[in-house]
Each structure stands twice: as C-alpha cells, then as structure tokens.
Amino acid sequence: MEQGEVRRLLKDTFSISQDADFIVHQPAIHEDVYSYKYEDGPGPNTQDLIFDLTHGSNTPWNAKILDMLVKELQKRNVEEQSDGYYKAILEDRYKWLRMAWRAAQPKVTAKGILETVAEVEERLVTKRDENLKSVCQTTRRQNKYICRAKILQHVIKLKKDDEDDDLPAWMWLETLIKTLGDGGMSSEESDVGNDLQCVLWVKKMAWHHGIE
C-alpha cells in the first residue's frame, strides 16, 4: 500500500505517469544547490520541487526535498508509519528515477563527441527492446519449466499406480528438471547454436561397392 502511495505522490509532484517520463526532468541549478549548502540559500522551492540529479539522495538539497515528500505522505496515509520508513522507500524510488534520467543523458561516443538527440533515442530504444526480449525469454523458460514439471508429476503418478518398470527413470528425469530449474530451460529464441552448420558425411561401409 505504501509503495503505491509513494508512486502516486511522485507522479503528482513531478507530473509523470511512469519512471521513463522522468528523463525530461530539469535538474536543480548548481548555483542554487551550492548556495543552499554553503551560503544559507533559500533551498528547494516548495511549489516546484526540483531534484539535484547530479548527486544521490543524501545531499542537503535532495534530503530537504525527501523530507517534504515524507510529510506529504504522512498526510495522505491513514496508517501511520515512521518518518524513517517512508524516507527509505522514497530514497529507493529516487535512485530508480535518477538512473532513468542518467541513462537518457548524452554519452561520449567512440569518436570523443557527445551523442546527438537522435543517437540517445536510438540507444534507449535498443536498450528497451533488449530488456523486453530478456523478460520474454525469462517468462518462456518459467512457463516451460512449470509445464514440464506438471507433466512429469502426472506421468510419475500414473507409473506408480501401474507399477511400471521404468518408474525410476521418470523419477530421475523429474529430479533433473527440478535441479535445473527454470534457468535450465531453453528459450524459443535462444541465440545459441544459430551459427552452427550441419555437415553430412558419407559413411564408408565394408559391403559398399566402390563407384567412381
């Protein structure tokens, strides 16, 4: 419940519908952050909260924002929790939002120049597609494992009822599948083996007649 409320609070505060939307967040101005830390500056604007995304959550600027968000969570939640509990959740969410933002910042290319906007977008799309493919493959492996485990369980039950001689072999196979787990299942889109080439060799049999 608290996790969901934290997400809703961040969405309302920063006008985002998902973490990926945070990549357009404009970080706090360095001079304002410096002034608040060393020169008794005014600090974050309560009406327009802006994180200092160049640093983690423990800096005076970001800690002040998190304290403001904690107080807002205390107002929203019927079930009271300690400030430390809410702050820990908010710090974790800030970490993920900052990671999303940093991933969208231009990086230095192999040529020693910063990426263009188009190159950044292409990199993010490629990374997203890779993540989606990985999730799909993991799901396939999990489904395949569950299916095989259920089939083996059913077969072994039938073998026990009929007292079949090959029951030990099926029980060994069930143990093997459980040992491998879903990580040991092959993916339908596995890249392994795609570069293998099938070669056919003619066997020389003693009874073959030599033909030129």
Indicate whether 50 belongs to any domain.
Answer: yes
Domain endpoint, select from 79, 103, 127: 103
Query: Picking from 75-79, 85-89, 157-161, which range would have the lowest pLDDT averaged per residue?
Result: 75-79
Q: Which pTM was predicted? A: 0.59
Q: Where are the alpha helices (DSSP H) in 104-166?
A: 117-162
Q: What is the pLDDT of residues 164-203, one digit of tens each?
A: 888 888 888 888 888 888 877 776 555 444 555 666 666 6
Q: Retrieve residue 204's tokens.
A: 């020389």
How many structural domains is the chain composed of? Answer: 2
Quick check: is 111 in a domain?
no
Average pLDDT across the chain, whole number: 83
Instruction: State whether 95 and 136 are in the same domain.
Output: no
Owning domain of residue 136: 117-184
**pLDDT tens digits along 143-166:** 888 888 888 888 888 888 877 888
Distances (CA, A) of 41 to 31, 38, 44, 69, 197: 10, 8, 9, 20, 69
Is residue 42 situated within a structural domain? Answer: yes
The distance in angstroms from the start CA to the end CA of the chain is 81
Q: Are residues 81 and 133 in the same domain?
A: no
pLDDT digits (tens, 9 = 90+) for 5-25: 888 899 999 988 888 889 889
Q: Tell me, yes or no, whether 23 and 48 share the same domain.
A: yes
Whether residue 200 is contained in a domain is answered as: no
What are phi and psi for residue 126, nearest 5 degrees? -60, -45
- CA 151/CA 47 separation, integer angstroms: 59
Q: Is residue 16 located within the same domain as residue 97?
A: yes
Q: Are residues 136 and 163 in the same domain?
A: yes
Statement to judge: residues 30 and 66 lie in one domain: yes
38 to 49, 62, 67, 141: CA distances (angstroms): 20, 15, 19, 54
From 72, 103, 134, the end of a domain falls on: 103
